[in-house]
Amino acid sequence: FPAQWTIHPSEHLRYWSIVDFKHWVKELGFYVEKYYVYDGFPLLWKIFPNLFGLSTVFVIKKVK
């Protein structure tokens, strides 16, 4: 199987929550302008995107 991580297994983005991603983006000097969650378990992904969404796309910008 191909490796899913480089240093530690918990670093893989697939297992991060939206809150985790926002935290790490901030630590790196960026911010999340907006994000889009799409697909997943019918109807529930719109109500609980972090739990039932299939994928998330983030728009990030550098902090000025």
Could you identify the residue written with the tokens 């991603």? 21
What tokens were used for 9?
């297994």
Model pLDDT, residue 37: 92
- Say which amino acid occupies 24: W
Model pLDDT, residue 10: 62
- How confident is the chain (64 residues) per 10-residue block, as mean pLDDT? 60 74 92 93 90 92 95
Strands (E) across 5-50 are located at 30-40
DSSP state of 60: E
Model pLDDT, residue 1: 46
